[in-house]
Amino acid sequence: MHWRRLGLVWQPSGHHPALLTHAALPVGFDLGGDLARIFFSGRDASNRSSIGSLVLRLGDAPRVEEVAPQPVLAPGAIGSFDDAGCGMGCVVRHPQGDRIYYMGWNVGGSVPWRNAIGLAVGDAAAGRFERYSAGPIMDRDTVDPYTLSYPCVLRLGPADWRMWYGTSLAWSAELSEMHHVLRAARSVDGIHWQRGSGLVLAPLSDEIALVRPSIVLGTGGAEMWFARRTARPYRLGHARSADLETWLRDDDALLEPQPDGWEGGAVTYPGVFEAAGRRWLLYNGQGYGAGGIGLAVWEPRE
């Protein structure tokens, strides 16, 4: 099995002032048939990020059917944890209202930024959401003293919620990069979380950061895709787990970056989802989503 590229499916065109550039951190939500709503993070002229959405018709020749005219979620009020932007995390179905878990941005002082995890509730099919609260549902604490990011949440049962997210062990001396790892948390309601003190995955060898986990459940356990960074641009990583506790790295059969074209030598921010009877990969290239959203499909090798 391997990922087969289907190409660049959407580039930002400035259809709204809050979404002038970028289409980072894409996430797919199955609408039934061959349609999916894609959520992403765009930026305004001041580089603040908002969450937008579009409807994509899946297939070997994917095409965008509509682009939502308004942002799904915009930056919060001045002084709030997300006043500098909202970074898309994941979408979770729920009978009392679908949920978006997202990363809120603040501009830092002694460091360039800080992040926390927020929640919005609404209707994923329609692309309408409102904040659950003005404050984050997870912020810095004794377990995560620096920053939290990139939440991936699964609802395994009414009182069994799991989250995998990014956390930083330290800032680098240059303050431009963080030593970024992945941690897990559990909850009975998806709002109040108990964090594990250990790490799910840490960088290997010359890696400096693992970011943006995307997890899919299967009959043999779970698979996680994530972005990994070294001195080179981002590439994809992969891990497997039989129990959602212990993860084993297996970076084979991944989508390798193409040096030319819109990817520009990078493949990052994976969003894996299943729809229309197939498994799909949404991703970004160089520039943290500046080039748009790419799509690949999981299929047997010829």
pLDDT at 230: 85
- For 62, the token pair is 């994917």
The DSSP letter of residue 95 is T
pLDDT of 172 above 80? no
Q: What is the pLDDT of residues 137-167, one digit of tens each?
A: 999 999 999 999 999 999 999 999 999 999 9
First to last CA, the chain: 9
CB-based contacts of 287, cutoff 8 Å, min separation 6: 22, 264, 266
pLDDT at 178: 63
pLDDT of 219 above 90? no
The DSSP letter of residue 73 is B
Q: What is the pLDDT of residues 16-47, one digit of tens each?
A: 999 999 999 999 999 999 999 999 999 999 99
- For 194, the token pair is 């108990």
Least-confidence region, from 63-72, 158-167, 169-178: 169-178
pLDDT at 296: 98
d(CA 288, CA 268) in angstroms, rounded, equals: 8
pLDDT at 71: 97
pLDDT at 112: 79
pLDDT, average across residues 193-210: 91
pLDDT of 214 above 80? yes
pLDDT of 126 above 70? yes
Give phi and psi for 265, each to the nearest 5: 85, 10
Q: What pTM was computed for the model?
A: 0.96
Burial class (CB in 10 A: 0-12, 13-18, 19+), 201: buried
Q: What is the pLDDT of residues 237-276, one digit of tens each?
A: 999 999 999 999 998 768 989 998 999 999 999 999 999 9
CA dist list (Å): 188 to 4, 157, 161: 38, 9, 6
pLDDT, average across residues 198-217: 92
Model confidence band, residue 175 (pLDDT cutoffs 50, 70, 90): very low
- For 21, the token pair is 């550039």
Closest CA to 163 of 226, 236, 214: 214
Q: Which amino acid appears at position 275 of this protein?
A: A
CB-based contact 263:285 (threshold 8 Å): yes
Task: Set out the domains of the chain in order of their start, with CATH numbers.
Answer: 2-12+89-299 (2.115.10.20)
With the C-alpha atoms ordered 156, 158, 160, 162, is the resulting torsion angle positive or negative?
positive
With the C-alpha atoms ordered 261, 265, 270, 272, is the resulting torsion angle positive or negative?
positive
Estimate the share of the chain in helix, then strand, then coil, as percent rounded to the nearest 5.
0, 55, 45
